[in-house]
């Protein structure tokens, strides 16, 4: 069995209207969200074998906060350009190519792609993920390449709003 955590980046700011979307940073609220959710995940015993993130600043910042709290250095975070501009097919391709020795993976990205990918994997309409929402999916197959439409079971969904 494989475990996939899908994480939408934390709340981003628009403090500098001149920045392109790709370079938007987390807001203060976003940094707090990311820290809170990373602690919850760490306390739940989550320890992914790999962290993969969109290279957009806000996603990498979120992944970095999670990595720090979970004991990973930034050198263990792999950025994957296809996540930023991606869709369900792009995310499915990234997951299907993961090394088989990995039992769990954590993917940081953006809406609508991450929400649509979670719905596609479970075969259920899950709705839009909240900022810094975490979806934990169990894939009963032994191979990442078997992750396909309706092949996963949702274990749980956590978001900052559910813990306020």
pLDDT grade, residue 13 (50/70/90)? confident
Structural domains present in the chain? 2-163 (3.40.50.1240)
User: Chain centroid to CA 57: how far?
Assistant: 14
The pLDDT tens digits for 116-138 are 999 999 999 999 999 999 999 99
The pLDDT tens digits for 79-114 are 999 999 889 999 999 999 999 999 999 999 999 999
Please, which residues have CB within 8 angstroms of residue 35's CB and are 6 or more apart in sequence?
Answer: 65, 69
Please, which residues have CB within 8 angstroms of residue 18's CB and are 6 or more apart in sequence?
Answer: none
Question: Tokens 């979806």 sit at which residue?
Answer: 135
Predicted TM-score (pTM) of the model is 0.94
pLDDT grade, residue 162 (50/70/90)? low
Are the C-beta atoms of residues 113 and 88 closer than 8 Å to each other? yes
Q: Per-residue DSSP letters for 44-89? A: TT---SEEEE-SSHHHHHHHHHHHHHHT--GGGEEE-HHHHS--HH
pLDDT grade, residue 164 (50/70/90)? very low
Question: Tokens 């097919």 sit at which residue?
Answer: 89
């Amino acid at each position: 069995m494989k475990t996939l955590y899908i994480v939408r980046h934390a709340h981003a700011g628009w403090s500098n209207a001149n920045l392109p979307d790709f370079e938007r940073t987390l807001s203060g609220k976003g940094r707090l969200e990311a820290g809170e959710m990373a602690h919850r995940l760490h306390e739940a015993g989550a320890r992914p074998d790999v962290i993969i993130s969109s290279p957009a600043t806000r996603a990498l910042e979120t992944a970095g906060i999670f990595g720090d709290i979970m004991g990973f250095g930034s050198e263990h975070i792999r950025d994957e350009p296809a996540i930023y501009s991606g869709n369900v097919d792009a995310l499915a391709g990234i997951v299907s190519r993961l090394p088989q020795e990995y039992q769990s993976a954590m993917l940081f990205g953006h809406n609508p792609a991450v929400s649509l990918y979670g719905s596609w994997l479970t075969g259920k309409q899950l709705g839009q993920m909240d900022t810094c929402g975490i979806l934990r999916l169990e894939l009963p197959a032994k191979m990442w390449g078997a992750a396909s439409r309706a092949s996963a079971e949702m274990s749980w969904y956590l978001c900052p709003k559910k813990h306020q």
